Structures are given as C-alpha cells and as structure tokens.
Amino acid sequence: MSIIEVNNLTKYYGKARGIVDVSFNVEEGEIFGFIGPNGAGKSTTIRLFCSLIYPSSGEAKIFGKDCIKYGPEIRQDIGYLPSEVFYYEGMKVLELLKYSASFYKKDCTERIYELSDLMELDLKRRIDDLSYGNKKKVGIVQGLLHEPKLLFLDEPTSGLDPLMQQKFFNLIKEENKRGATVFFSSHILGVVQKMCSRVAIIKEGSIVDIQDIQTLQRENYKKIHVVAEGIDEKVFDIPGVIKLEKENGAVNFFYKGDINLITKLISEKKISDVTIEAPTLEEIFIHYYE
Amino acid sequence: MNIFKHEFKSYLKSVGIWSVSIFLIILIYLSVFSSISTDIETLNEMMASFPEELLIAFGMTEMDLSSILGMYGLVFLFCQICLAIQASNYGFSLVSIEERELTADFLLAKPVRRGEILTAKLLAAIASLTITNLMVWVSSFLVIGMLNDGLPSETKPLIMLLLSIVLFQMFFLAVGMLISLLMKRVRSVTPLSMALAFGMYVLSAFGGMLGDDTLEVISPFKHFEPNYIIKNAAYDTPLVLISVVTILIAIPASYLLYSKRNIHTAV
C-alpha cells in the first residue's frame, strides 16, 4: 500500500503559485527525498499533508485516507518537523515536549528522555534561551517522541553541526528500520543522496522528475577525470561524452554509454592518474536548478 | 483538556495585572469622589464649569453624584474601558498568536480537530475573563462597603451593573476573534484591541454628544450604559439584544472561518 498518494494536488495562495498538479506516491518503508530550490513548493506540499493549508484542487491520501477529512486520525501517526521551529516562549524544553506528548494516545515519557539524551538536548532550559540549532533539536525530539509511522522532515538539517547531522541521520535510519516511512525535503542534494532511496525533484511548483537514486547513478553519466602530460582532450570526444574540459594537464568529462569504449580509449594513452566515479546528485540535477 | 490547561496558564499573569489595575481604579476614583462629594456645592460648581460636551462625552450629565452608586456609575465606565481592552486583546490574539509566533505549525499538526482547538482556546479565554469579572465584583463590594459604612440599601442596580460584565466581555472577545480571523495576518494585537475598545467607546460617547443615535447602537458601551442601568435598575433590553445577537453570530462565524483557514508561514 502507498503510504502517501498525491493526485493532481494544486495550491494557489490567491494568485500566487504554491504547487501545480503534483502527483506521486510514497511506498511503505521508503525514505523519499523531495528536493528543489527555495520557493519551489516543498514546504507547501508538506503543509498540505498536515492540513495546515487546504488544497485549491486535487487530493492527498495518507495511509489510504484523505488527509483533510481524516486529518486528526492520520496525524496520530505522523511526526512533523517544520523548517522554522519556534515554540511557545517562556516554556521549558521538558514542558513543551510533555505538552506535545499529551496529544498522543501512548505514553511517550521514556522516548522523550531517550531522544533528548541522544541529541544532547538540555531539558531544563527555557526555549527562548536556546540557539537556533538547539531549537531544531527540540523540533526533532518533538517530531519523533510518539514513534510515528510517517515522518515529514522539512529542511531538517539546517542549523545542526556536522556531528549532530550525523546523529540525526542515524536516528532517522533507525526509525526507518523500525518501519517508519520518511518524507525528506531539502535543497541540499548531498543530504538527500546519503539518505534516500527515491527522490522527486520539484521546480516552480511542479514535479519535474521522480527517480530511484541507485539507478539514477548507475544508469546516468560517469564522471571521469584523466591526468596525463600533453594530452589532447579531443581524443575523448566520442558520442556520449559531455562537458569535455581540459584543466591543468587533466581532462574532465561526463560519459554515458558503453564503459568499455572509454576505458579502451584511456588505456591507449600514457596517463598518470584516472578516476571514474558516479556523479553526485548535484551534478546530475544541476540542470534542473538552472 | 491539555490545550485548555496550556492556554489558561498563559493567561494567568495578564489576568493578575488587569485585576489589580481594576481594583486600584475602583479604589482610587471612588475614594476621591466620595471625599469631594462631602462638599456637594463645590462639586456642582466644578461640574458646571466643564463644557457640556465633555460632560456628555463622559456620560456625566445624568449622573447623580450625591449617592455612592451614582459615583460608582462613572467609575464603572472606566472599568468597562479596561474590560473592553482586555477582552479585545484576548479575542484578537486567540488564534493569531500561534501564527505570529509560528507555533501553529506545532499545534495544528497534532492529532486534534481545529474545532477542538478553538473551543479549548475560547474556554481558556472565557475562564480568564471570568476571573477578572469576579475580581470586579469583589473590588466593587469591598470599596463601596468601605466608603459607605456598609452596602447601600438598594443593591439591585449595582448587581445589575455587575451582571452586565459577562455579555460586555463576550462581545469584545467574540468580535476581536472574528476580526482577527477575517484578516489574513495580524501583525500586532495591541493597536487593534485599542482601536476596537476605544472606537466603541467613542461611538457611544460622541453619539450622545452629537445627538446622533444611529451608530451608537452597535456599541456595547451604549448597550450597558452604567447611568441607565443605575437609574432604572434595569437593562435597555433591545440594546442588550444587539450585543447578544452579535456574540451569537461572531462565535459560529469564527468556527467556520478557522476550520477553513490557511495557516501562513511567517515568511
């Protein structure tokens, strides 16, 4: 069963575009990446799922149920980490987490302490006094404390230092192993690449592509870097090669096609170094951003 | 219940401040009036020296300053202004505070219906206003009893006046809430609640001055005019009904608007 089913979902804010005719499915147990530049409609999509805003047309089903009609019921099993976290001023971290827990049918006390321990969050401090990164941690614990079946993460890593990011990724992977489906929005492709099995690219409110990350990298261009004295880059100018450049005695290009053809070409030259690697998502998708 | 508790807690400080302020207003003004009223002649001279427009504006033309209740009527008007500002504040910020401080994304993503949220918030605000209301009762009886050596023999007008507070507060709470939901974004609450409270006061006061009674009928300051209630020991029923109807329209309309509302982000 698809955990999220989106059919022709459209949202206009008055005349301003939110998202237009967005359709996709997210399957159970997936970590689904949702990437696109700022203002592409990532937050709009997630906020529609949480019925913070209502669609202009189309529908979204979560756990097979309409996300507006059955909103309260569905949200029992959803964890949401907003991109901007601000919480009731004057409240202490623990108070807020307990308030958050009071909305769910299960006892979350143990999980609050577990998660705060893991994220090194001081429960006794007032939220107003926290730095942006620490507020983000409150958001993370708040979104996970009820062991949700579905997680919406909207730009979850901004504000976290690399060490915390790593801890956070591990935490999400654990949640995923436990069975949680994760919907992960970000404009940082590297982050999505590390975590997700599939990824949708949204641009100016519309989905431009949905791809499996592994096939994407396997069946896509290879990034090739050849270092050799006095090499003429023209020898590599065969069908399937793009972005052929020579720089400081090294040749860089992307190649898509029979890999034997290119290795044969390389082996005919006297070279000092060669690297063949899968391009990063950035390199694959950079044209979506342009 | 959890939302109610959370909301109610956040009101406590404000309720304390308003209650103390109202107590002080009653105590100070009533003491001053009662001390000058021993010399009725001077008082009348003083009143006569004021321009008539001013007296009308403050509803002092029909005031009977020879009795403690007459004086209390004027003091109660000051209380009404405070109560109007407080109730408007609560009304305007009821829903909008969550959007301004971005906590709406937290609260509305929880497994609760919007209607439940609004009910809990509304009840918390009403509970807080009721505490303030009770403090007005206590302060009034206390101060009047103190200055008058026991309560006046005729307490019915006083009780009628104090009973009117409930509807008076509900009017500003409900109207404030409705206006905030009609607005796309409420950036700051205080100017709005000041405008609503003083606007209504001015309508009632200047309506009297200009002798134009078409606009003043929408003002709760007119519906629950202290002088009228004290003099007649009764309400002006048709006017009171206008308040009641306004409340009965504003609350369901707010529920409807809130259930359909798109929650905007701050950016």
pLDDT in tens, B172-225: 999 999 999 999 888 889 999 999 999 999 888 877 666 666 777 889 998 998
Q: Does A132 touch chain B (CB under 8 A)?
A: no
DSSP 3-state of A163: helix
- In angstroms, the first-to-last Cα distance of chain A is 36
Q: Which residue has the higher pLDDT, A87 or B248?
A: B248
Confidence category of residue B114, pLDDT binned at 50, 70, 90? very high
Q: Which residue has the higher pLDDT, B207 or A25?
A: A25
Q: Are strands A150-154 and A181-186 parallel, antiparallel or unpaired?
A: parallel
DSSP 3-state of A21: strand
Q: Are residues A70 and A210 in the same domain?
A: yes
Question: Which among B111, B112, B265 is the nearest to A84, CB-wise?
Answer: B265
Strands (E), chain A: 2-13, 16-27, 31-35, 57-62, 65-66, 78-81, 150-154, 181-186, 198-203, 206-212, 222-227, 241-247, 250-255, 273-277
Last residue of a domain, which of A216, A248, A267? A216
Whether residues B102 and A82 touch (CB distance < 8 A) is answered with: yes
User: Which ipTM did the prediction report?
Assistant: 0.83
pLDDT (tens digit per residue) in A184-202: 998 877 778 778 889 898 8
Q: In terms of residue numbers, what domain contains A45?
A: 2-216
Nearest C-alpha of chain A: how many angstroms from B218?
Answer: 33
How far, CA to CA in Å, does A226 sit from each of A222, A268, A270, B206, B242?
A: 13, 12, 10, 88, 85
Whether residues A87 and B111 touch (CB distance < 8 A) is answered with: no
Q: Are residues A196 and A248 in the same domain?
A: no
pLDDT above 70 as % of chain B: 89
Last residue of a domain, which of A171, A192, A216? A216
In a domain, B38, yes or no: yes
In a domain, B266, yes or no: no
CA B30 to mean position of chain CA atoms: 19
Q: Are residues A120 and A70 in the same domain?
A: yes
pLDDT given at position B63: 61
Q: Are residues A76 and A175 in the same domain?
A: yes
Range with lowest mean pLDDT among A41-55, A114-128, A211-225, B72-86: A211-225
Q: Give the pair of three-digit tokens for residue B37.
A: 């009223």
Confidence category of residue A285, pLDDT binned at 50, 70, 90? low
The full DSSP string for B199-267 is HHHHHHHHHHHHT--SSGGG-HHHHT-HHHHHHHSS--HHHHHHHHHHHHHHHHHHHHHHHH-------
Question: Residues in chain B whose beta carbon is closer than 8 A to a beta carbon of chain A?
Answer: 2, 6, 10, 101-106, 108-113, 260, 262-267
Q: Which residues of B touch A52 (CB under 8 A)?
A: 104-105, 108-109, 262-263
Considering only the C-alpha atoms of chain B, give the largest distance between any 2 of them, rounded to a whole number of Å.
Answer: 68
CATH number of the domain where residue A109 is located = 3.40.50.300
Tally of structural domains, chain B: 1
pLDDT given at position B208: 63
In the block, tokens 């307490």 appear at B155
Q: Which residue has the higher pLDDT, B66 or B180?
A: B180
Range with lowest mean pLDDT among A62-66, A182-186, A281-285, B72-76: A281-285
Give strand pairing partners of A183: A32, A152
How far, CA to CA in Å, does B67 sit from each of A112, A117, B33, B63?
A: 63, 68, 10, 10
The amino acid occupying position A207 is I
Q: Which residues of A touch B111 (CB under 8 A)?
A: 72-76, 103-104
pLDDT given at position A171: 92
pLDDT (tens digit per residue) in B14-45: 999 999 999 999 999 888 877 776 666 666 77
pLDDT given at position B70: 80
Q: Give the pair of three-digit tokens for residue B29.
A: 């003004």
Q: Say what the alpha-carbon torsion angle B147, B150, B151, B154 is, to the nearest 10 degrees.
A: -110
Q: In terms of residue numbers, what domain contains B55?
A: 2-260
pLDDT given at position A99: 93
Confidence category of residue B252, pLDDT binned at 50, 70, 90? very high
Q: Does A221 touch chain B (CB under 8 A)?
A: no
Tell me how many degrees the CA angle A80-A81-A85 measures, rounded to the nearest 5: 135
pLDDT given at position A180: 94
Confidence category of residue A245, pLDDT binned at 50, 70, 90? confident
In a domain, B23, yes or no: yes
Whether residues B101 and A54 touch (CB distance < 8 A) is answered with: no
In a domain, B27, yes or no: yes
CB A158 within 8 A of CB A85: no
Of B97, B105, B108, B257, which to mutate for an interface test with A (greatest number of A Cβ within 10 Å)?
B105
Tally of structural domains, chain A: 2
Last residue of a domain, which of A216, A245, A272? A216
Q: Are residues A21 and A74 in the same domain?
A: yes
Mean pLDDT of all residues in B53-58: 68
Catalogue the long-range contacts made by A46-50 (C-beta closer than 8 Å, 24 or more residues apart).
A46/A80, A46/A152, A46/A154, A46/A183, A46/A185, A47/B105, A47/B263, A47/B265, A48/A9, A48/A11, A48/A19, A49/A4, A49/A78, A49/A152, A49/A183, A50/A75, A50/A78, A50/A80, A50/A152, A50/B105, A50/B108, A50/B109
CA nearest neighbour of B235 among B166, B153, B142, B141: B166
Whether residues B108 and A52 touch (CB distance < 8 A) is answered with: yes
Q: Are residues A226 and A210 in the same domain?
A: no
- Say yes or no to pLDDT of A216 above 80: no
CA–CA dist A162, A288 (Å, integer): 27
Whether residues B110 and A75 touch (CB distance < 8 A) is answered with: yes
Whether residues B101 and A80 touch (CB distance < 8 A) is answered with: no
pLDDT given at position A1: 76
Phi, psi values for residue B181, rounded to 5°: -80, -20
Q: Are residues A131 and A90 in the same domain?
A: yes
User: Could you tell me which chain A residue has the CA closest to the CA of B116?
Assistant: A72
Q: Which residue has the higher pLDDT, A283 or B208?
A: A283
pLDDT given at position B60: 64
pLDDT given at position B90: 96
Q: Are residues A267 and A209 in the same domain?
A: no
pLDDT above 90 as % of chain A: 43
Nearest C-alpha of chain A: how many angstroms from B265?
Answer: 9
Confidence category of residue A208, pLDDT binned at 50, 70, 90? confident
How far, CA to CA in Å, does A248 sit from each of A226, A242, A252, A266?
A: 11, 19, 10, 18
Whether residues B101 and A73 touch (CB distance < 8 A) is answered with: no
Q: Are residues A173 and A206 in the same domain?
A: yes
DSSP state of A59: E
- Say yes or no to pLDDT of B107 above 70: yes
CATH number of the domain where residue A256 is located = 3.30.70
User: Could you tell me which chain A residue has the CA closest to the CA of B266?
Assistant: A84
pLDDT given at position B58: 65
User: Could you tell me which chain B residue has the CA closest to the CA of A55?
Assistant: B262
CB B91 within 8 A of CB B193: yes
Q: Does A63 touch chain B (CB under 8 A)?
A: no
In a domain, B148, yes or no: yes
Q: Give the pair of three-digit tokens for residue B215.
A: 């606009």
Q: Are residues A150 and A229 in the same domain?
A: no
In a domain, B163, yes or no: yes
Alpha carbons within 13 angstroms on the beta-carbon side of residue A54 total 10
In a domain, B65, yes or no: yes
CB B140 within 8 A of CB B28: no
DSSP state of B108: T
User: Could you tell me which chain A residue has the CA closest to the CA of B2?
Assistant: A102
Whether residues A75 and B262 touch (CB distance < 8 A) is answered with: no
In a domain, B142, yes or no: yes
Of A48, A51, A88, which to mutate for an interface test with B (greatest number of B Cβ within 10 Å)?
A88
- Mean pLDDT over all residues of chain A? 87
